[in-house]
Structure 1
Protein backbone atom coordinates (compact mmCIF):
# COMPACT_ATOMS: atom_id res chain seq x y z
CA UNK A 1 0.00 0.00 0.00
CA UNK A 2 1.08 3.59 -0.58
CA UNK A 3 2.83 5.32 2.31
CA UNK A 4 0.95 8.52 1.54
CA UNK A 5 -2.30 6.92 2.71
CA UNK A 6 -0.98 6.22 6.18
CA UNK A 7 0.88 9.53 6.40
CA UNK A 8 -2.34 11.37 5.60
CA UNK A 9 -4.20 9.36 8.24
CA UNK A 10 -1.78 10.57 10.92
CA UNK A 11 -2.36 14.12 9.68
CA UNK A 12 -6.13 13.69 9.94
CA UNK A 13 -5.88 12.29 13.45
CA UNK A 14 -3.61 15.10 14.66
CA UNK A 15 -5.75 17.83 13.14
CA UNK A 16 -8.79 16.30 14.81
CA UNK A 17 -6.96 16.57 18.14
CA UNK A 18 -5.96 20.15 17.38
CA UNK A 19 -9.62 20.98 16.67
CA UNK A 20 -10.58 19.38 19.99
CA UNK A 21 -8.12 21.69 21.76
CA UNK A 22 -9.42 24.74 19.90
CA UNK A 23 -13.03 23.79 20.68
CA UNK A 24 -12.20 23.47 24.37
CA UNK A 25 -10.53 26.89 24.35
CA UNK A 26 -13.54 28.52 22.74
CA UNK A 27 -15.93 26.73 25.13
CA UNK A 28 -13.99 28.28 28.04
CA UNK A 29 -13.70 31.79 26.61
CA UNK A 30 -15.74 33.12 29.56
CA UNK A 31 -14.41 30.74 32.24
CA UNK A 32 -12.63 32.82 34.86
CA UNK A 33 -8.99 31.88 35.33
CA UNK A 34 -8.93 29.48 32.36
CA UNK A 35 -5.61 29.15 30.51
CA UNK A 36 -5.73 28.35 26.80
CA UNK A 37 -3.98 25.31 25.35
CA UNK A 38 -2.09 24.81 22.11
CA UNK A 39 -1.50 21.58 20.17
CA UNK A 40 1.92 21.11 18.56
CA UNK A 41 2.89 18.47 16.00
CA UNK A 42 6.16 16.63 15.41
CA UNK A 43 7.44 14.56 12.49
CA UNK A 44 7.17 10.80 12.72
CA UNK A 45 10.25 8.62 12.29
CA UNK A 46 11.13 8.47 8.58
CA UNK A 47 11.99 5.45 6.45
CA UNK A 48 15.53 5.62 5.05
CA UNK A 49 15.89 4.36 1.49
CA UNK A 50 19.48 5.46 0.98
CA UNK A 51 22.21 6.29 3.43
CA UNK A 52 24.63 9.18 3.14
CA UNK A 53 28.06 8.52 1.58
CA UNK A 54 31.34 10.29 2.26
CA UNK A 55 33.57 11.72 -0.50
CA UNK A 56 35.99 9.23 -2.09
CA UNK A 57 39.63 10.37 -1.86
CA UNK A 58 42.87 8.66 -2.88
CA UNK A 59 44.60 10.51 -0.03
CA UNK A 60 42.27 11.24 2.94
CA UNK A 61 44.73 13.82 4.27
CA UNK A 62 44.48 15.86 1.05
CA UNK A 63 41.01 17.00 -0.04
CA UNK A 64 42.38 17.88 -3.50
CA UNK A 65 42.60 14.14 -4.22
CA UNK A 66 38.82 13.73 -4.09
CA UNK A 67 37.58 11.62 -6.96
CA UNK A 68 33.88 11.42 -6.08
CA UNK A 69 31.93 13.81 -3.89
CA UNK A 70 29.71 12.77 -1.00
CA UNK A 71 25.98 12.25 -1.35
CA UNK A 72 23.15 12.93 1.07
CA UNK A 73 20.90 10.23 2.44
CA UNK A 74 17.28 9.83 1.38
CA UNK A 75 14.58 9.52 4.02
CA UNK A 76 10.87 9.42 3.32
CA UNK A 77 8.66 10.70 6.12
CA UNK A 78 5.85 8.57 7.50
CA UNK A 79 3.56 11.29 8.78
CA UNK A 80 3.22 13.31 11.96
CA UNK A 81 2.54 12.74 15.63
CA UNK A 82 1.07 14.89 18.39
CA UNK A 83 4.14 16.48 19.98
CA UNK A 84 2.53 18.23 22.94
CA UNK A 85 -0.48 20.12 24.22
CA UNK A 86 0.96 23.17 25.93
CA UNK A 87 -0.74 25.37 28.51
CA UNK A 88 -0.35 29.08 27.82
CA UNK A 89 -0.21 30.51 31.36
CA UNK A 90 -0.25 34.20 30.46
CA UNK A 91 -2.18 36.76 32.50
CA UNK A 92 -5.87 37.11 31.70
CA UNK A 93 -7.74 40.41 31.75
CA UNK A 94 -9.50 41.62 34.90
CA UNK A 95 -13.23 41.74 35.48
CA UNK A 96 -14.61 43.97 38.24
CA UNK A 97 -17.22 42.28 40.44
CA UNK A 98 -17.22 44.40 43.59
CA UNK A 99 -17.57 41.27 45.71
CA UNK A 100 -15.10 41.55 48.63
CA UNK A 101 -14.23 37.84 48.60
CA UNK A 102 -13.46 37.75 44.86
CA UNK A 103 -9.71 37.89 44.30
CA UNK A 104 -7.38 38.14 41.34
CA UNK A 105 -3.61 37.64 41.27
CA UNK A 106 -1.83 40.39 39.35
CA UNK A 107 1.38 38.63 38.36
CA UNK A 108 2.79 35.22 39.21
CA UNK A 109 1.33 32.78 41.70
CA UNK A 110 -1.65 30.54 42.36
CA UNK A 111 -4.10 30.27 45.23
CA UNK A 112 -3.83 27.18 47.45
CA UNK A 113 -7.00 25.24 48.27
CA UNK A 114 -7.70 21.96 50.00
CA UNK A 115 -10.36 19.30 49.51
CA UNK A 116 -10.05 16.76 52.30
CA UNK A 117 -6.38 15.80 52.39
CA UNK A 118 -5.73 16.83 48.77
CA UNK A 119 -4.07 20.13 47.88
CA UNK A 120 -4.87 21.97 44.66
CA UNK A 121 -3.72 25.21 43.04
CA UNK A 122 -5.83 27.64 41.05
CA UNK A 123 -5.80 31.05 39.41
CA UNK A 124 -9.54 31.46 39.92
CA UNK A 125 -10.35 33.57 42.98
CA UNK A 126 -14.11 33.04 42.94
CA UNK A 127 -14.33 32.72 46.73
CA UNK A 128 -17.09 33.07 49.30
CA UNK A 129 -17.83 32.48 52.99
CA UNK A 130 -19.73 29.35 54.03
CA UNK A 131 -22.09 29.13 57.01
CA UNK A 132 -19.14 28.64 59.36
CA UNK A 133 -17.36 31.74 58.04
CA UNK A 134 -14.74 29.67 56.22
CA UNK A 135 -13.35 31.12 52.97
CA UNK A 136 -14.08 28.54 50.26
CA UNK A 137 -14.14 28.18 46.50
CA UNK A 138 -17.69 28.98 45.39
CA UNK A 139 -17.82 26.19 42.80
CA UNK A 140 -16.44 23.26 44.79
CA UNK A 141 -16.35 24.25 48.47
CA UNK A 142 -12.57 23.75 48.52
CA UNK A 143 -11.04 25.52 51.54
CA UNK A 144 -8.76 28.46 50.78
CA UNK A 145 -5.45 28.24 52.60
CA UNK A 146 -3.50 30.97 54.35
CA UNK A 147 -1.33 31.79 57.35
CA UNK A 148 -2.97 32.41 60.72
CA UNK A 149 -1.48 35.38 62.57
CA UNK A 150 0.56 33.77 65.34
CA UNK A 151 -1.15 34.41 68.66
CA UNK A 152 -4.50 35.33 67.13
CA UNK A 153 -6.03 32.10 68.43
CA UNK A 154 -5.25 33.20 72.00
CA UNK A 155 -8.41 34.09 73.94
CA UNK A 156 -6.84 37.08 75.67
CA UNK A 157 -4.43 38.89 73.37
CA UNK A 158 -4.08 39.56 69.66
CA UNK A 159 -0.89 41.08 68.25
CA UNK A 160 -1.26 44.19 66.14
CA UNK A 161 1.54 43.15 63.79
CA UNK A 162 1.30 40.10 61.57
CA UNK A 163 3.54 37.17 62.49
CA UNK A 164 3.23 34.13 60.25
CA UNK A 165 3.71 30.46 61.17
CA UNK A 166 5.39 27.88 58.95
CA UNK A 167 2.27 25.85 58.19
CA UNK A 168 -0.94 26.72 56.36
CA UNK A 169 -4.42 26.73 57.86
CA UNK A 170 -8.03 27.33 56.87
CA UNK A 171 -9.22 30.94 56.83
CA UNK A 172 -12.26 31.59 59.00
CA UNK A 173 -13.99 34.97 59.29
CA UNK A 174 -16.95 34.81 61.64
CA UNK A 175 -18.54 38.24 61.82
CA UNK A 176 -20.39 38.66 65.08
CA UNK A 177 -18.07 36.39 67.08
CA UNK A 178 -16.81 37.79 70.38
CA UNK A 179 -13.09 38.03 71.20
CA UNK A 180 -11.37 39.22 74.37
CA UNK A 181 -8.61 41.83 74.21
CA UNK A 182 -7.14 43.28 77.40
CA UNK A 183 -10.08 42.00 79.39
CA UNK A 184 -12.59 43.76 77.11
CA UNK A 185 -15.01 41.85 74.89
CA UNK A 186 -14.85 42.82 71.22
CA UNK A 187 -17.08 41.68 68.37
CA UNK A 188 -15.76 41.13 64.86
CA UNK A 189 -17.74 43.73 62.98
CA UNK A 190 -16.17 43.72 59.49
CA UNK A 191 -13.04 42.77 57.60
CA UNK A 192 -10.94 43.77 54.62
CA UNK A 193 -8.32 42.14 52.38
CA UNK A 194 -5.43 44.23 51.04
CA UNK A 195 -3.11 43.77 48.04
CA UNK A 196 -0.79 41.50 50.04
CA UNK A 197 -3.65 39.19 50.97
CA UNK A 198 -3.72 40.31 54.61
CA UNK A 199 -7.16 39.81 56.19
CA UNK A 200 -7.69 42.59 58.71
CA UNK A 201 -10.62 42.41 61.12
CA UNK A 202 -12.34 45.43 62.65
CA UNK A 203 -13.48 44.71 66.23
CA UNK A 204 -15.99 46.79 68.22
CA UNK A 205 -16.69 46.72 71.98
CA UNK A 206 -19.96 47.45 73.76
CA UNK A 207 -19.11 51.16 73.97
CA UNK A 208 -18.60 51.45 70.23
CA UNK A 209 -14.81 51.64 70.39
CA UNK A 210 -13.12 49.96 67.42
CA UNK A 211 -9.72 48.37 66.92
CA UNK A 212 -8.26 46.51 63.96
CA UNK A 213 -6.12 43.40 64.01
CA UNK A 214 -4.45 41.42 61.20
CA UNK A 215 -5.96 37.94 61.32
CA UNK A 216 -4.68 35.97 58.31
CA UNK A 217 -2.60 36.30 55.16
CA UNK A 218 -3.63 34.41 52.04
CA UNK A 219 -1.05 31.93 50.74
CA UNK A 220 0.21 31.86 47.14
CA UNK A 221 2.27 29.20 45.39
CA UNK A 222 4.69 29.41 42.47
CA UNK A 223 6.39 26.64 40.48
CA UNK A 224 9.58 26.38 38.45
CA UNK A 225 7.50 25.07 35.53
CA UNK A 226 3.90 26.20 35.78
CA UNK A 227 3.16 24.73 32.34
CA UNK A 228 3.98 21.29 33.74
CA UNK A 229 1.11 21.25 36.25
CA UNK A 230 -1.58 18.59 35.89
CA UNK A 231 -5.03 19.97 35.07
CA UNK A 232 -7.68 18.40 37.31
CA UNK A 233 -10.86 20.21 36.23
CA UNK A 234 -12.75 22.93 38.12
CA UNK A 235 -9.81 25.24 37.26
CA UNK A 236 -7.67 23.22 39.69
CA UNK A 237 -4.09 22.08 39.11
CA UNK A 238 -1.85 19.65 40.95
CA UNK A 239 1.89 19.12 41.03
CA UNK A 240 3.44 16.81 38.44
CA UNK A 241 6.84 15.21 37.98
CA UNK A 242 7.85 18.13 35.75
CA UNK A 243 6.27 21.10 37.54
CA UNK A 244 8.57 21.18 40.54
CA UNK A 245 7.44 21.48 44.13
CA UNK A 246 5.19 24.32 45.23
CA UNK A 247 7.07 27.35 46.51
CA UNK A 248 4.69 28.66 49.16
CA UNK A 249 4.64 32.23 50.38
CA UNK A 250 2.57 35.40 50.34
CA UNK A 251 1.73 38.07 47.79
CA UNK A 252 4.49 40.52 46.93
CA UNK A 253 7.33 38.19 47.96
CA UNK A 254 9.63 35.84 46.00
CA UNK A 255 8.29 36.86 42.56
CA UNK A 256 4.68 36.40 43.63
CA UNK A 257 2.16 38.94 42.39
CA UNK A 258 -0.25 41.16 44.29
CA UNK A 259 -3.88 40.36 45.07
CA UNK A 260 -6.71 42.52 43.74
CA UNK A 261 -9.95 42.14 45.70
CA UNK A 262 -13.30 42.67 44.02
CA UNK A 263 -11.90 41.40 40.71
CA UNK A 264 -11.73 38.07 38.89
CA UNK A 265 -9.17 37.05 36.30
CA UNK A 266 -10.84 36.25 33.00
CA UNK A 267 -9.85 33.57 30.51
CA UNK A 268 -6.78 34.36 28.40
CA UNK A 269 -8.44 32.89 25.30
CA UNK A 270 -8.16 35.26 22.30
CA UNK A 271 -11.05 34.51 19.95
CA UNK A 272 -9.30 36.06 16.95
CA UNK A 273 -6.35 33.72 17.52
CA UNK A 274 -8.63 30.72 18.00
CA UNK A 275 -10.61 31.42 14.83
CA UNK A 276 -7.38 31.81 12.86
CA UNK A 277 -6.08 28.53 14.27
CA UNK A 278 -9.43 26.95 13.41
CA UNK A 279 -9.09 27.99 9.75
CA UNK A 280 -5.52 26.66 9.55
CA UNK A 281 -6.56 23.40 11.20
CA UNK A 282 -9.55 23.01 8.90
CA UNK A 283 -7.37 23.53 5.80
CA UNK A 284 -4.82 21.06 7.13
CA UNK A 285 -7.55 18.47 7.62
CA UNK A 286 -8.89 19.10 4.12
CA UNK A 287 -5.41 18.81 2.59
CA UNK A 288 -4.79 15.46 4.30
CA UNK A 289 -8.21 14.27 3.16
CA UNK A 290 -7.26 15.23 -0.37
CA UNK A 291 -4.04 13.20 -0.14
CA UNK A 292 -6.11 10.12 0.76
CA UNK A 293 -8.46 10.76 -2.18
CA UNK A 294 -5.59 11.16 -4.68
CA UNK A 295 -3.76 8.11 -3.31
CA UNK A 296 -6.95 6.11 -3.74
CA UNK A 297 -7.17 7.29 -7.35
CA UNK A 298 -3.61 6.16 -8.02
CA UNK A 299 -4.35 2.72 -6.56
CA UNK A 300 -7.46 2.53 -8.73
CA UNK A 301 -5.34 3.23 -11.82
CA UNK A 302 -3.01 0.38 -10.87
CA UNK A 303 -5.97 -1.98 -10.51
CA UNK A 304 -7.35 -0.88 -13.87
CA UNK A 305 -4.05 -1.79 -15.59
CA UNK A 306 -5.07 -5.44 -15.39
CA UNK A 307 -8.42 -4.77 -17.03
CA UNK A 308 -6.88 -2.90 -19.91
Structure 2
Protein backbone atom coordinates (compact mmCIF):
# COMPACT_ATOMS: atom_id res chain seq x y z
CA UNK A 1 0.00 0.00 0.00
CA UNK A 2 2.81 2.37 0.90
CA UNK A 3 4.64 1.80 -2.37
CA UNK A 4 1.40 2.34 -4.26
CA UNK A 5 0.80 5.66 -2.51
CA UNK A 6 4.34 6.79 -3.27
CA UNK A 7 3.94 5.96 -6.94
CA UNK A 8 0.55 7.59 -7.06
CA UNK A 9 1.92 10.78 -5.55
CA UNK A 10 4.81 10.86 -8.00
CA UNK A 11 2.44 10.46 -10.96
CA UNK A 12 0.43 13.40 -9.63
CA UNK A 13 3.56 15.55 -9.32
CA UNK A 14 4.57 14.78 -12.90
CA UNK A 15 1.10 15.55 -14.23
CA UNK A 16 0.72 18.85 -12.43
CA UNK A 17 4.21 19.87 -13.46
CA UNK A 18 3.02 19.39 -17.06
CA UNK A 19 -0.16 21.31 -16.19
CA UNK A 20 1.98 24.21 -14.93
CA UNK A 21 4.02 24.04 -18.15
CA UNK A 22 0.86 24.34 -20.26
CA UNK A 23 -0.46 27.24 -18.19
CA UNK A 24 2.91 28.99 -18.31
CA UNK A 25 3.01 28.67 -22.09
CA UNK A 26 -0.51 30.08 -22.38
CA UNK A 27 0.32 33.06 -20.18
CA UNK A 28 3.57 33.77 -22.02
CA UNK A 29 1.60 33.93 -25.30
CA UNK A 30 -1.23 36.14 -24.05
CA UNK A 31 -0.17 38.83 -26.55
CA UNK A 32 0.93 36.53 -29.40
CA UNK A 33 -0.97 37.22 -32.61
CA UNK A 34 -3.28 34.36 -33.57
CA UNK A 35 -2.14 32.13 -30.68
CA UNK A 36 -4.38 29.21 -29.71
CA UNK A 37 -4.16 28.17 -26.08
CA UNK A 38 -3.55 24.64 -24.85
CA UNK A 39 -5.63 22.62 -22.40
CA UNK A 40 -4.44 19.53 -20.57
CA UNK A 41 -6.69 16.57 -19.83
CA UNK A 42 -5.88 13.89 -17.26
CA UNK A 43 -7.02 10.28 -17.04
CA UNK A 44 -6.57 7.63 -14.40
CA UNK A 45 -4.01 4.87 -14.81
CA UNK A 46 -4.79 1.16 -14.59
CA UNK A 47 -6.03 -0.19 -11.26
CA UNK A 48 -4.64 -2.91 -9.03
CA UNK A 49 -7.36 -5.55 -8.73
CA UNK A 50 -7.25 -6.84 -5.17
CA UNK A 51 -10.33 -8.93 -5.88
CA UNK A 52 -12.37 -9.32 -9.07
CA UNK A 53 -16.08 -8.67 -9.17
CA UNK A 54 -18.46 -11.54 -8.65
CA UNK A 55 -22.22 -11.99 -8.37
CA UNK A 56 -23.47 -9.68 -5.65
CA UNK A 57 -20.01 -8.28 -4.95
CA UNK A 58 -18.17 -5.37 -6.53
CA UNK A 59 -14.53 -5.58 -7.45
CA UNK A 60 -11.94 -4.30 -4.99
CA UNK A 61 -9.62 -2.03 -6.93
CA UNK A 62 -6.90 0.37 -5.86
CA UNK A 63 -6.02 3.14 -8.31
CA UNK A 64 -2.39 3.62 -9.25
CA UNK A 65 -2.39 7.31 -10.07
CA UNK A 66 -3.07 9.51 -13.07
CA UNK A 67 -1.50 10.33 -16.40
CA UNK A 68 -1.77 12.98 -19.09
CA UNK A 69 -4.43 11.94 -21.57
CA UNK A 70 -4.05 14.80 -24.04
CA UNK A 71 -3.05 18.40 -24.47
CA UNK A 72 -5.60 19.97 -26.80
CA UNK A 73 -5.38 23.08 -28.93
CA UNK A 74 -8.39 25.27 -28.16
CA UNK A 75 -9.21 26.83 -31.52
CA UNK A 76 -11.81 29.39 -30.49
CA UNK A 77 -11.36 32.79 -32.11
CA UNK A 78 -9.43 35.57 -30.44
CA UNK A 79 -10.52 39.20 -30.43
CA UNK A 80 -9.88 41.00 -33.73
CA UNK A 81 -8.18 44.33 -33.05
CA UNK A 82 -7.84 47.15 -35.55
CA UNK A 83 -4.26 48.23 -36.25
CA UNK A 84 -4.63 50.60 -39.18
CA UNK A 85 -1.71 48.86 -40.93
CA UNK A 86 -2.83 47.84 -44.45
CA UNK A 87 -0.45 44.85 -44.39
CA UNK A 88 -2.16 43.36 -41.32
CA UNK A 89 -4.88 40.82 -42.12
CA UNK A 90 -7.20 38.92 -39.76
CA UNK A 91 -9.57 36.02 -40.34
CA UNK A 92 -12.88 36.78 -38.68
CA UNK A 93 -14.35 33.30 -38.51
CA UNK A 94 -12.93 29.83 -39.05
CA UNK A 95 -9.98 28.91 -41.21
CA UNK A 96 -6.26 29.44 -41.67
CA UNK A 97 -3.92 31.15 -44.09
CA UNK A 98 -1.77 28.71 -46.04
CA UNK A 99 1.88 29.73 -46.29
CA UNK A 100 4.94 28.05 -47.76
CA UNK A 101 8.71 28.14 -47.39
CA UNK A 102 9.01 26.93 -50.98
CA UNK A 103 8.96 23.26 -50.03
CA UNK A 104 6.53 22.73 -47.18
CA UNK A 105 3.07 24.13 -46.52
CA UNK A 106 2.05 25.51 -43.15
CA UNK A 107 -1.04 27.15 -41.70
CA UNK A 108 -1.42 30.18 -39.48
CA UNK A 109 -3.89 32.66 -38.01
CA UNK A 110 -1.19 35.30 -37.64
CA UNK A 111 -1.74 37.83 -40.42
CA UNK A 112 1.04 40.29 -39.58
CA UNK A 113 2.23 40.34 -43.20
CA UNK A 114 4.82 42.62 -44.80
CA UNK A 115 6.61 43.27 -48.08
CA UNK A 116 9.92 41.61 -48.86
CA UNK A 117 12.79 43.18 -50.78
CA UNK A 118 11.16 42.52 -54.17
CA UNK A 119 7.71 43.81 -53.24
CA UNK A 120 5.94 40.51 -52.50
CA UNK A 121 3.48 40.21 -49.61
CA UNK A 122 4.91 37.58 -47.23
CA UNK A 123 4.76 36.44 -43.61
CA UNK A 124 7.14 37.58 -40.89
CA UNK A 125 9.32 34.57 -41.70
CA UNK A 126 9.38 35.48 -45.39
CA UNK A 127 7.02 32.67 -46.39
CA UNK A 128 4.78 33.12 -49.43
CA UNK A 129 1.01 33.40 -48.89
CA UNK A 130 -1.24 31.13 -50.88
CA UNK A 131 -3.26 33.05 -53.46
CA UNK A 132 -1.14 36.23 -53.44
CA UNK A 133 0.38 36.48 -56.91
CA UNK A 134 1.17 40.14 -57.59
CA UNK A 135 3.92 42.58 -56.82
CA UNK A 136 3.10 45.50 -54.56
CA UNK A 137 5.94 47.75 -55.70
CA UNK A 138 4.62 50.74 -57.59
CA UNK A 139 1.23 50.76 -55.87
CA UNK A 140 -0.11 53.92 -54.29
CA UNK A 141 -2.66 51.87 -52.33
CA UNK A 142 -4.27 48.44 -52.18
CA UNK A 143 -7.39 46.94 -50.64
CA UNK A 144 -8.15 43.42 -49.45
CA UNK A 145 -11.86 42.62 -49.67
CA UNK A 146 -13.73 40.47 -47.16
CA UNK A 147 -13.44 37.50 -49.54
CA UNK A 148 -9.67 37.96 -49.81
CA UNK A 149 -9.60 39.57 -53.27
CA UNK A 150 -6.77 42.10 -53.59
CA UNK A 151 -7.21 45.23 -55.68
CA UNK A 152 -4.86 48.17 -55.99
CA UNK A 153 -4.07 51.47 -57.64
CA UNK A 154 -0.78 52.17 -59.38
CA UNK A 155 1.18 55.34 -58.76
CA UNK A 156 -0.07 56.69 -62.08
CA UNK A 157 -3.67 56.25 -60.96
CA UNK A 158 -4.45 53.20 -63.13
CA UNK A 159 -5.96 50.05 -61.61
CA UNK A 160 -3.46 47.35 -60.69
CA UNK A 161 -4.15 43.84 -61.93
CA UNK A 162 -3.07 40.32 -61.04
CA UNK A 163 -2.57 40.87 -57.31
CA UNK A 164 -4.40 37.67 -56.44
CA UNK A 165 -6.75 36.57 -53.68
CA UNK A 166 -5.79 35.42 -50.19
CA UNK A 167 -7.08 31.89 -49.75
CA UNK A 168 -8.42 30.43 -46.52
CA UNK A 169 -8.35 26.73 -45.60
CA UNK A 170 -10.29 24.69 -43.05
CA UNK A 171 -9.84 21.25 -41.46
CA UNK A 172 -12.21 18.56 -40.25
CA UNK A 173 -10.40 18.65 -36.91
CA UNK A 174 -8.43 21.90 -36.55
CA UNK A 175 -7.60 21.01 -32.93
CA UNK A 176 -5.53 18.15 -34.38
CA UNK A 177 -3.07 20.50 -36.09
CA UNK A 178 0.44 20.40 -34.66
CA UNK A 179 2.17 23.57 -33.48
CA UNK A 180 5.69 23.96 -34.86
CA UNK A 181 6.55 27.44 -33.57
CA UNK A 182 6.53 30.88 -35.21
CA UNK A 183 2.70 30.83 -34.91
CA UNK A 184 2.60 28.07 -37.53
CA UNK A 185 0.70 24.79 -37.63
CA UNK A 186 1.21 21.73 -39.76
CA UNK A 187 -1.15 18.97 -40.85
CA UNK A 188 -1.16 15.86 -38.65
CA UNK A 189 -2.66 12.43 -38.99
CA UNK A 190 -5.62 13.55 -36.87
CA UNK A 191 -6.34 16.98 -38.35
CA UNK A 192 -7.47 15.89 -41.78
CA UNK A 193 -6.27 17.56 -44.94
CA UNK A 194 -6.58 21.25 -45.78
CA UNK A 195 -9.80 22.10 -47.64
CA UNK A 196 -10.53 25.48 -49.28
CA UNK A 197 -13.02 27.29 -47.06
CA UNK A 198 -16.50 28.07 -48.34
CA UNK A 199 -18.40 31.17 -47.34
CA UNK A 200 -15.33 33.43 -47.28
CA UNK A 201 -16.73 36.94 -47.47
CA UNK A 202 -19.96 35.96 -45.69
CA UNK A 203 -19.73 33.62 -42.67
CA UNK A 204 -15.94 34.02 -42.62
CA UNK A 205 -14.45 37.38 -43.47
CA UNK A 206 -11.00 38.66 -44.25
CA UNK A 207 -10.40 41.92 -42.38
CA UNK A 208 -7.63 44.23 -43.57
CA UNK A 209 -5.88 46.54 -41.12
CA UNK A 210 -6.54 44.23 -38.16
CA UNK A 211 -4.98 41.33 -36.30
CA UNK A 212 -6.49 38.48 -34.32
CA UNK A 213 -5.27 38.43 -30.74
CA UNK A 214 -4.52 35.39 -28.60
CA UNK A 215 -7.53 33.48 -27.26
CA UNK A 216 -5.88 33.21 -23.83
CA UNK A 217 -8.04 34.54 -20.97
CA UNK A 218 -5.74 35.62 -18.15
CA UNK A 219 -8.51 35.24 -15.56
CA UNK A 220 -8.97 31.58 -16.48
CA UNK A 221 -5.23 30.96 -16.56
CA UNK A 222 -4.64 32.51 -13.14
CA UNK A 223 -7.45 30.39 -11.70
CA UNK A 224 -5.93 27.28 -13.27
CA UNK A 225 -2.52 28.30 -11.94
CA UNK A 226 -3.84 28.33 -8.37
CA UNK A 227 -5.57 24.98 -8.91
CA UNK A 228 -2.40 23.41 -10.31
CA UNK A 229 -0.25 24.80 -7.50
CA UNK A 230 -2.54 23.45 -4.78
CA UNK A 231 -2.86 20.08 -6.47
CA UNK A 232 0.93 19.87 -6.77
CA UNK A 233 1.26 20.64 -3.06
CA UNK A 234 -1.36 18.02 -2.18
CA UNK A 235 0.45 15.32 -4.18
CA UNK A 236 3.73 16.30 -2.54
CA UNK A 237 1.99 15.91 0.83
CA UNK A 238 0.93 12.38 -0.16
CA UNK A 239 4.59 11.48 -0.72
CA UNK A 240 5.83 13.04 2.54
CA UNK A 241 3.05 11.33 4.51
CA UNK A 242 3.93 7.94 3.02
CA UNK A 243 7.59 8.61 3.82
CA UNK A 244 6.74 9.40 7.45
CA UNK A 245 4.82 6.12 7.78
CA UNK A 246 7.73 4.19 6.28
CA UNK A 247 10.03 5.85 8.76
CA UNK A 248 7.73 4.82 11.61
CA UNK A 249 7.77 1.21 10.43
CA UNK A 250 11.56 1.20 10.22
CA UNK A 251 11.82 2.56 13.77
CA UNK A 252 9.55 -0.20 15.20
CA UNK A 253 12.60 -2.47 15.31
CA UNK A 254 14.64 -0.04 17.35
Question: TM-score, normalising length from structure 2?
Answer: 0.94
Query: Corresponding residue for 2:227?
Result: 280
**1:5-16 mapped onto 2 (5 Å cutoff):** 5-16=6-17
The counterpart of 1:196, out of the listed 140, 144, 147, is 147
Q: Deviations over 1:155-210 (max 9, x none)?
A: xxxxxxxxxxxxxxx5332332xxxxxxxxxxx543211111100122476xx6x4
For 2:160 and 2:184, how far apart are their aligned partners in 1?
34
**Higher normalized contact order (CA 8 Å, seq sep 6+, divided by chain length):** 2
Q: For the Cα contact (< 8 Å) 2:173–2:192, is it kept in 1?
A: yes
Q: Within 1, Cα distance between the matches of 2:20 and 2:197?
A: 38
How many pairs were matched up? 253
Instruction: Give ranges in structure 2 of 5+ residues lacking alignment.
Output: none
Partners in 1 of 2:155 and 2:75 — Cα distance? 43
Secondary structure of 2:164's match? strand
Equivalent in the alignment of 2:40 = 39
Gapped regions of structure 1 (runs ≥ 5) = 55-69, 147-169, 177-187
Query: What TM-score, normalized by structure 1, do the two folds share?
Result: 0.78
Higher strand share: 1
* 8 Å CA contact 1:196, 1:250 repeated in 2: no
Partner of 1:143: 128
Secondary structure at 1:268 match in 2: coil
The 1:112–1:3 alpha-carbon spacing in structure 2 relative to 1, beyond 3 Å, is same
3-state SS, counterpart of residue 8 of structure 2 = helix
**Bigger Rg, which one:** 1
Instruction: Describe the superposition over 1:201-229 as per-residue Cα deviations: whole angstroms up to 9, x where unpaired.
Output: 22476xx6x44656311111100000000
Distance in 2 separating the partners of 1:267 and 1:28: 7
Residue of structure 2 equivalent to 1:224: 172
Contact 1:129/1:136 (8 A) holds in 2: yes
Report the RMSD for the aligned CA atoms in angstroms. 1.8
**Cα deviations by residue, 1:215-262 (Å, 9 ceiling, x for unpaired):** 311111100000000111000001000000000246617x96111100
Distance 1:239 1:10 in 2: 31
Map residues 1-308 of structure 1 onto 2, 5 A cutoff: 2-54=3-55, 70-138=56-124, 140-146=125-131, 170-176=132-138, 188-203=139-154, 210-211=158-159, 213=161, 215-249=163-197, 252=200, 257-307=204-254
1:46 and 1:75 in contact (8 A); partners too: yes
